[in-house]
Amino acid sequence: MSRAKVIVAVVDGLTPSMLEAAIERGSAPTLAALAERGRYGRAVSVFPSLTPVCLSSLATGAFPDVHEIPHLVWHSRRENRLVEYGSSFGAVRAAGIGRTLRDTMVNMNAEHLGKNAVTLFEALEDAGLVTACVNFTAYRGRVQHRSPVPLLGTVRGPRRFFFYNVFESDETGAPLSWKNRAAGSIDAYAAAVGRWLVTRDGFDFLVFYLSDYDWASHALGPDAAFDVLERCDAAIGALADAAGGLDELLERYAVVVLADHGQSRVHSVVRLEERFASVPGALVTASNRAGQVYRLEGCSLDAAELAMLLDSDRSVDVTLWREGGVAVARRDGEELRFAPGDAGWELSGDPAVLDHPDGLRRAWTAVANPNAGDLLVSPVAGVEFADLAGNGHLDGGSHGSLLTADSEVPVITVGIGGEVASIADVAPLVLDHFGVAQPPYTREPARVG
Ligand SMILES: [Zn+2]
């Protein structure tokens, strides 16, 4: 079995249709060449299909029931406060800028990411390998790094750790990441660091994360930002250049390229809070295309009753909640009750309620997340839920729901065996590749809690 080093490149928000169109047009030559040398397919994201939830699954191979990151914005029962990872600038301001920065850059890994989840950086460093990541937000590792930004202090990350200039394990000469996001300065920073790392062969495992494509897709709508995808392609091409060419890169490294979630067009932005305005103790946290309702002290309705308030709401596709060891999904007044059993899923009710890609597993692991709301809401196509500040992406793109467009991602694998049907399959694949033991949750079915 090959023990080549591994690079996982994540293009945030890239849809399969966009990648295929760009390859067809000739505007993604590096990705086309990688697909030609390896395998191209599609995989399914987790739910909610939002970046912090997805990147945590990519890093750990765990679903949200184990990694415990529930959403872009959620209520911490332990601390009795809101956690916001940066839905929009307005939402960041509403939650408090310093607090959001700390939650996103420090606490998500140090406090929120489940203690039973094991990141690739932890597992591989424990096996004596050198891990690295660039701009990847689920970075928890074994090596302490101090930020020059006093508010951030120290965190534990991979040995070689580069995070938007606020954490840098090595002096690389890369340009400032935040200089001009619209012009691509964040991915340019990633490309410069990636080039530096490959030139030195400075890692066994690298996660190379490109965030600009998702940002552009939110503004322009899905499958439109060809120029930004071209820059992403060039950033991955920069890794090949640093190795002396694509063939030389692939001699040294197995490569996986994928997205964390898809994107779909937004036709209307809805304030989910308004639906629950008359219910005392019902706290809504919503952003992009997923919403949650938390039952705080004094909430007079249970989750099923909260769900029924949305029965005639045409913006809602499915509501989800838990009743003891069983999950319930409700759509158009029809219900499906389900739980993982010894011989597969135990179902009662209408299975068509959850006919979404990998629907049962994604819905179950979302409601089984201890940090999730008591009710989860997945909207119909075209609808977005406004964030804390009332912001959305009207006439642009968004993601977060159980529906295919938000959930399906392209996957290219070169030099690494195994099937990637879910984004959570990447971590176990990488561990197998290096012959490193799996954490128990990647080999066991989701359990009734
Ligand atoms: Zn996004």
Q: 115 Cβ partners below 8 Å, 6+ apart?
A: none
Ligand 1 geometric centre to CA of 288 (Å): 8
Between the CA of 189 and the centroid of ligand 1 the distance, in Å, is 19
Q: Residue 383 Cα, ligand 1 centroid: separation in angstroms?
A: 15
Rounded to the nearest angstrom, the distance between the alpha carbon of 129 and the centre of ligand 1 is: 31
367 by DSSP, 3-state: which?
helix
**What's the token pair of residue 323?**
């009743």
Q: For residue 232, report the distance from its CA to the centre of ligand 1, in Å.
A: 16
The model carries a pTM of 0.97
What's the CA-to-centroid distance between 11 and ligand 1, angstroms?
11
* Residues with Cβ–ion distance below 5 A, ligand 1: 214
CA distances from 422 to 61, 104, 260, 335, 362 (A): 9, 25, 10, 26, 10
pLDDT in tens, the chain (449 residues): 447 999 999 999 999 999 999 999 999 999 999 999 999 999 999 999 999 999 999 999 999 999 999 999 999 999 999 999 988 888 888 888 999 999 999 999 999 999 999 999 999 999 999 999 999 999 999 999 999 988 889 999 999 999 998 999 999 988 888 888 888 889 999 999 999 999 999 999 999 999 999 999 999 999 999 999 999 999 999 999 999 999 999 999 999 999 999 999 999 999 999 999 999 999 999 999 999 999 999 999 999 999 999 999 999 999 999 999 999 999 999 999 999 998 899 999 999 999 999 999 999 999 999 999 999 999 999 999 999 999 999 999 999 999 999 999 999 999 998 899 999 999 999 999 999 999 999 865 554 43
- CA dist., res. 335 & res. 319, Å (int): 10
Distance 367 CA to ligand 1 centre (A): 21
**Alpha-carbon span 351 to 374, nearest angstrom:** 22
3-state secondary structure of 185: helix
Instruction: Confirm if 167 and 147 have CB atoms less than 8 A apart.
Output: yes
Burial 85-116 (b: 16+ CB within 10 A, else e): bbbbeebbebbeeebbbbbbbbbbbeebbbee
Q: Cα(299) to centroid of ligand 1, in Å?
A: 31
CB 390 within 8 A of CB 400: no
Distance in Å, CA 54 to ligand 1 centroid: 11
- Ligand 1 center–CA 279 separation, angstroms: 30
Ligand 1 centroid to 214 CA: how many Å? 5
How many angstroms is it from 312 CA to the middle of ligand 1?
Answer: 28
> How far apart are the CA of 442 and the centre of ligand 1, in A?
26
The CA 268 to ligand 1 mean position distance, Å, reads 17
